[in-house]
Structure 1
Amino acid sequence: MFDLKSKIIVITGGAGLLGSRMVQVIQKHGGTPVVFDNDLKKINELKKNNKNKIDNIYYYKIDITKKDQIKKIVNVISKKFKKIDCLINNAGFNPKLGLKKNKFENFSLKQWEKEIQIGLTGSLLVTQEVVKKMIKQNHGNIINISSDLGIIAPNQFLYGKNNKKPISYSVVKHGIIGFSKYLATYLAEYNIRSNALCPGGISNNQPKKFINKIKKLIPLQRMAKINDYDGIILYMCSDYSSYMTGSTIICDGGRSTW
């Protein structure tokens, strides 16, 4: 049942750090990953890294805040494959730290709207179009990627005096969980499931000082390795999770338990 053979799986933000790993996991287990991303450079890099697997990975440059673009590409995919089995809402805006503008009292409305548009509105627009296809086929699986910071507040002491995690990040990641639960109840009659995944931070060449600080907040005393989420993604995409909907899976090394 962990075999994803014949499953068509759309991944937003599919050329990013976690998204590109999802592509590998899905492809390795027989699924067909369909990558949505707005960063052409990252898409080309992903293509290069998967050049020997090009036949069953599909790439689309897309702005998920543009409804017309989404509708057009979802129709292309639906026509090509006759179905969409799973949607992973993974796209989001991860703000740079070390910026005074991230401080709550200085946070601009323009930046707020930009990050909400990408993290929440983008998920709404893509899901609306994909769900129209899933309702017709009477099955589907939606996986919404939140964060451990969708469960807890950021510890601002990690980032230093002028470095703050902005309010928008918490609002988006908490909102994704509510979005997921709403879909689970609304879409159940159509045999469409919806669950949220809250991963912890992934080790990715962060400064040693930061790593040493955050390790103290995690019972397992380390950040995640990129492959730590392989099994969770595989389970959530597969038929083994067929009775799970409306759930929030936390995989953060135990950080949110403290």
Structure 2
Amino acid sequence: MLSGKTILVLGAKGLIGQAVVQHIAQKNGRVIAADITSDESTSAKVITHVCDITSETDIGQLLTQYPNIDGIVNCAYPRNSQYGTDALEVSTSSFNENVALQLGSCFSLLKLAARHFKSRQKPLSVVLLSSIYGIKAPDFSIYEGTSMTMPVEYAAVKSGLIHLAKYFSKYINDSDFRVNCVSPGGIENGQPETFLNAYKSKTLGHGMLSAKDICGSITFLLSDEANYINGTNLTIDDGFTL
């Protein structure tokens, strides 16, 4: 599906990022795997780089180094040490910092990607990672009996990503520059059993997803099979938002 394509994956060492890198390579794509740290390992299909998603300089250097990329996937998830605090205890400065780190860095990425496209005039597909909580209010009942919560910054950022995708798609106004979102449901990552059971009761039976469950949708949006799909949001949640 991605044979001959070069894809830049940001946040490549995260839970979702690792799965995306592996899946793209399996689909015969070439991956530029970038993260805030790197193991500096490379192969025929995967080249690693250090890149701070919050730095326009870092992003710009990658785009300059790889001018012929065909796609970008943003799996990066920068946040400060106060992230995840109960909503009524979050300071305004911390909220603003997290929104700047996450939504602001994605704005910078889209701005630089759009400039890159305009200068190269080569088709480019950008995929952003939003969330079910970018399209609906959190279901706080599933967190009862746990120390977990749904960070207020997360909901604000994820909803903003969906609109940024629409904005840049319309602003560039060219079928060859595509920006889309994928909104997964919860991703299993060692959560307590009480939470997993409560979450599963809200789905059609599968419950929490694994990171690899969303990779097919991402690679589809990167591929030529998704030509003319632009500014949209694909939801993969086993019916959680129904």
Q: What TM-score do you get using the length of structure 1 for normalisation?
A: 0.85
- Structure 1 counterpart of 2:103: 120
- Structure 2 counterpart of 1:31: 29
Task: Select the residue among 61, 65, 69 that pairs with 2:58.
Answer: 69
CA distance in 2, matches of 1:87, 1:125: 13
- Structure 2 residue identity aligned to 1:177: I
Q: Is the 8 A contact 1:100 1:106 kept in 2?
A: no
- Structure 1 counterpart of 2:164: 179
- Structure 1 counterpart of 2:72: 87
- Structure 1 residue identity aligned to 2:29: G
CA distance in 1, matches of 2:228, 2:58: 33
Distance change in 2, residues 1:106/1:11 (3 Å): same
Q: Is the 8 A contact 1:87 1:142 kept in 2?
A: yes
- Structure 2 counterpart of 1:219: 204
Using the TM superposition, give the Cα deviation of residue 227 of structure 1 relative to its aligned residue in structure 2, in angstroms.
Answer: 2.5
1:59 aligns with 2:37: no
Q: Is the 8 A contact 1:13 1:92 kept in 2?
A: yes
Q: Is the 8 A contact 2:54 2:105 kept in 1?
A: yes
User: Deviation per CA, 1:180-211, whole angstroms, max 9, x where unpaired?
Assistant: 11111112326201111101111222111111
Gaps of 5+ in 2: none
CA distance in 1, matches of 2:101, 2:126: 18
CA distance in 1, matches of 2:148, 2:213: 28
Using the TM superposition, give the Cα deviation of residue 25 of structure 1 relative to its aligned residue in structure 2, in angstroms.
Answer: 1.0
- Structure 1 counterpart of 2:181: 196
In terms of fraction of residues, the more helix-rich structure is: 1
Q: Is the 8 A contact 1:102 1:163 kept in 2?
A: no
User: Deviation per CA, 1:101-151, whole angstroms, max 9, x where unpaired?
Assistant: 722221012321232122211111122222222222322111111011111
Task: Select the residue among 10, 13, 22 that pairs with 1:12.
Answer: 10
Q: Is the 8 A contact 2:24 2:30 kept in 1?
A: yes
1:145 aligns with 2:134: no
CA distance in 1, matches of 2:79, 2:196: 18
User: Deviation per CA, 1:11-60, whole angstroms, max 9, x where unpaired?
Assistant: 1111111111110111111111112211x2xx42x94xxxxx71221222
Q: Is the 8 A contact 1:146 1:177 kept in 2?
A: yes
Q: Is the 8 A contact 1:187 1:193 kept in 2?
A: no
CA distance in 2, matches of 1:163, 1:251: 22
State the number of aligned residues.
240
Q: Is the 8 A contact 1:103 1:166 kept in 2?
A: yes
Q: What TM-score do you get using the length of structure 2 for normalisation?
A: 0.90
Question: What secondary structure, in the 3-state scheme, does the structure 2 residue paired with 1:189 have?
Answer: coil
Q: Is the 8 A contact 1:84 1:134 kept in 2?
A: no
1:133 aligns with 2:123: no
CA distance in 2, matches of 1:190, 1:117: 29
Gaps of 5+ in 1: 48-52
Across the aligned residues of Structure 1 and Structure 2, the Cα RMSD in angstroms comes to: 2.3
Q: Is the 8 A contact 1:219 1:253 kept in 2?
A: yes
- Structure 2 residue identity aligned to 1:104: A
- Structure 1 residue identity aligned to 2:111: Q
